[in-house]
Structure 1
Amino acid sequence: MASHPRITARRVPPALTAAATAVALAAGLLGAAAGTGNATARSVGGTDSGIDSVPTGIRTVSSGWTVPWGLSWLPDGSALLTERDSFKLFKLTQSGTRTQVGTVPNVVTTNGEGGLLGVAVSPNWNSDHYVYLMHSAASDNRIVRMTYDGSSLSGYKVLVTGIAKNKYHNGGRIKFGPDGYLYATTGDGQNGDRAQDKNSLNGKILRMTADGKPAPGNPFGTLVFSLGHRNPQGLTWDAQGRLWEAEFGNSKYDELNLIESGKNYGWPVCEGTCSTSGMTNPKRQWTVSEASPSAVAYADGALYLAALRGERLWRIPVSGTSAGTPVAYYTSQYGRLRTVEKVPGKNALWLSTTNADNNGGEPDGADKVFQVDLG
């Protein structure tokens, strides 16, 4: 099954549930609603600042995009963004100036969810100028490295191959962790058995060195860090360095998982919470109509989850290894939300849409990048 095509109406004023009204009014946002979540509510403690920081406003940074997908920050505070279907890489400043820096070679579309996906700027970019990308190629999905010198994109070195591709379920998010290693999400390619096969790179979270080799300490001595994933696309780390992941379910539940080395997250045996021995349950789950999460970011004591089919931004407070009650913002106001990232040096997020794909149905150029201020 694909990653939940959009079936909800656009720009319908959302109804506030009683549980969320106080939160929404305190935030000054009538678009907020508490998540049903199909999970038990848990109270959590304070945030990093000691104050519950919530979305307080949203503005457009840049428009005219067609399915922007990956986003990674450069040291100067500007961002590199990929466009999935044009195979282009852009630089976007915080003032909204957009510049095309190159086209990534050897990328193909899958006429579904594949193409040019994640991007990760090297943590040593000031000295090596490396940019890492994940994309669909003629025979597989792969992770490559290119050089961006601040003006143009050059070189092309393949680091990881052999990740099976499909029209759907390609994963594609890549990020450097606080440990300096590169993490990547891979989908099952619509073959759930791969997710449980430790010898397959599909249905996994991978962890590697900057040269694409298995990172020291990986649980199986391979690239595999965790297994049992269907179509994971969101990765982020909290202030204590814990890894959180957002994952598309099939027809029942989407998941927010706390990822630990060597753990099995259940797919295809489990979708959402289950009692099967050896499987790790999600910290939160949503019905697929509420979420379809493509990205997750951490900011000031909470996780922010961007929902495609759900057309909303979920805020989930975290305390230690617990995830609190989800609250939704901007429901049905901006369409399908793809990527969310914390803005460096600001208590704010960047949030992008995917309305110009087959599920969104809007014309090329209809997508936007927003800034969500927190306070």
Structure 2
Amino acid sequence: MKTWLWTAALAGTLLLGACKKNSPGTGTPTAPGSTAGLTDKVVTDKLTLPWEVLWGPDNKLWITERGGKISNVDPATGAITVIATLSDVVSRGEGGLLGMVLHPDFTTTPEVFVAYNYDKNGTYTKKIVKFTYSGGTLINPVVLIDNIPAANIHNGTRLAISPDKKLFITSGDAAAASRAQDKNNPAGKIQRINLDGSIPADNPTAGSPVWSYGHRNPQGLVFVGDRLYSSEHGNSTDDEVNIIQKGRNFGWPNVEGLCNTDAEKAFCSVNDVAEPIQIWTPTIAPSGIDYYNKDAIPQWKGSLLLAVLKDSELLQLKLNTAGTAVEAVHTFYKGKYGRMRDVAISPAGKVYIITSNGSNDRLIEVSGK
């Protein structure tokens, strides 16, 4: 889960085989989930285009807003405390201040990792910056990686730290689909670096941060056991949930969703393409994900929870025991709160969702009755 305390094992290479055939979900109508055992409430409605929500070691929700603000929110009172406003953030279209993650040993190593877009000599660009949290604010910025293409659309960007303390970064194709298949271009990739910005010796290609490629616009990322799951926006068809694997090609733009047309089958066979475990056509616009494995809401245990933008809902993706397939999909709060951007889970099992409607965006708490 996306809390500061990581309990998952290292995300290693999951060799499911090229063009794996796991009978993924096909986006057929989802069943309405029962809210009989749930209580939902608005914690605050004073956010503006929030992107990331995390449960912090201070028992607060840490939130980024695309305009450049990092805050924490008291879940009991809804009080918002601004931690920092990053002056060089440039919010343009879907860009701005995006992903954030806290060091897994935050109490002894109070580091905050953020990803944001800025203007670099007239070119819209993304960088990953590490800050130190001290005295209630962020100090000592260190740029870990720079020169990731950015655009008004398709920026990614979600961050996650693996149990062996590697930083994973999702990046969209930045509105140029051909970048996704170019291993020398950081757009359309999931990258993996050390927490000091250096490149791990066991990355797929020596000296390269690229971990996987062929991505269009992945906006969700979470570790579950020894697996790394990502949610990804499709084009006009085939939104996806993928299990991310070392060195694998995820197909875009040559493959959308499954390897099921003649051209796609040929490309998949030659290029070791990994298929998604869940797809949606028509598209729903999936964004942030987290993994629920608490007892507080028993019906959600063993599920990915997915915040959905276009279809304005929270989806429960019940995983099979092995974690390799989605057994069922249930929808919650469809249309009630508008576009949902990200989701986080507290140690006590409460679920927090942020919306992405514009001004007066909300932080919502869902708990078991």
| TM interval, short-chain normalised | 0.7 to 0.9
Q: What is aligned with 2:317?
A: 316
Unaligned runs of 5+ in 1: 1-16, 29-54, 357-363
Q: Give the drift of 1:204.
A: 0.7
Q: Give the drift of 1:172.
A: 1.4
1:229 to 215, 233, 236: 215
Q: What is aligned with 2:332?
A: 329
Aligned 8 A contact 1:70 1:83 in 2: yes
Counterpart amino acid of 1:307? V
Counterpart amino acid of 1:248? H
CA gap 1:227/1:374 in 2 versus in 1, 3 angstroms = farther
Q: Give the drift of 1:287.
A: 2.3
TM-score, normalised via structure 2 length: 0.82
Q: What is aligned with 1:92?
A: 73
Q: Equivalent residues in 2 for 1:125-164 (5 A)?
A: 125-139=106-120, 140-164=125-149
Q: For residue 326 of structure 1, give the secondary structure of its aligned residue in structure 2.
A: strand
CA gap 1:19/1:81 in 2 versus in 1, 3 angstroms = closer
CA gap 1:137/1:317 in 2 versus in 1, 3 angstroms = same
Aligned 8 A contact 1:350 1:372 in 2: yes
**Alignment of 1:370 onto 2:360:** no
Q: For residue 263 of structure 1, give the secondary structure of its aligned residue in structure 2.
A: coil
Q: For residue 193 of structure 1, give the secondary structure of its aligned residue in structure 2.
A: helix
2:274 to 280, 292, 297: 280
RMSD of aligned alpha carbons: 1.8
Q: For residue 161 of structure 1, give the secondary structure of its aligned residue in structure 2.
A: strand
Q: Give the drift of 1:374.
A: 4.8
Q: Equivalent residues in 2 for 1:202-351 (5 A)?
A: 202-221=187-206, 222-238=208-224, 240-274=225-259, 275=265, 276-277=268-269, 278-289=272-283, 291-300=284-293, 301-319=302-320, 320=322, 321-343=324-346, 345-351=347-353
Q: What is aligned with 1:46?
A: none
**What whole-Å deviation, never above 9, does each CA across 1:50-97 have from its counterpart, x for those lacking one?**
xxxxx7221112221111111233212212211102x11101122122
Q: Give the drift of 1:168.
A: 0.6
CA gap 1:246/1:159 in 2 versus in 1, 3 angstroms = same
Aligned 8 A contact 1:219 1:261 in 2: yes
**What whole-Å deviation, never above 9, does each CA across 1:198-254 have from its counterpart, x for those lacking one?**
11111011111111122342111221111110000100122x231100000111111
**What whole-Å deviation, never above 9, does each CA across 1:303-354 have from its counterpart, x for those lacking one?**
01110001111101112111222111111111000011121x2122110000
How many residues are treated as equivalent by the alignment? 317
Q: For residue 171 of structure 1, give the secondary structure of its aligned residue in structure 2.
A: coil
CA gap 1:152/1:373 in 2 versus in 1, 3 angstroms = same
Q: For residue 268 of structure 1, give the secondary structure of its aligned residue in structure 2.
A: coil
Aligned 8 A contact 2:55 2:344 in 1: no
Farther off after superposition, 259-268 or 91-100: 91-100
Q: Distance in 1 between matches of 2:277 and 2:135?
A: 40
2:100 to 110, 114, 119: 119
Q: For residue 143 of structure 2, give the secondary structure of its aligned residue in structure 1.
A: strand
Q: What is aligned with 1:39?
A: none
CA gap 1:271/1:103 in 2 versus in 1, 3 angstroms = same
Aligned 8 A contact 1:73 1:121 in 2: no
Q: For residue 107 of structure 2, give the secondary structure of its aligned residue in structure 1.
A: helix
Q: For residue 108 of structure 2, give the secondary structure of its aligned residue in structure 1.
A: helix
Aligned 8 A contact 2:212 2:244 in 1: yes
CA gap 1:18/1:209 in 2 versus in 1, 3 angstroms = closer
Q: Give the drift of 1:137.
A: 1.1
Q: Which runs of 4 or more aligned residues in structure 1 lie more than 3 Å from their structure 2 counterparts after TM superposition?
A: none
Q: Equivalent residues in 2 for 1:15-30 (5 A)?
A: 20=31, 24-25=33-34, 27-28=35-36
Aligned 8 A contact 2:53 2:354 in 1: no
The sequence identity of aligned pairs, in percent, is 35
Counterpart amino acid of 1:89? I
Q: Distance in 1 between matches of 2:184 and 2:310?
A: 32
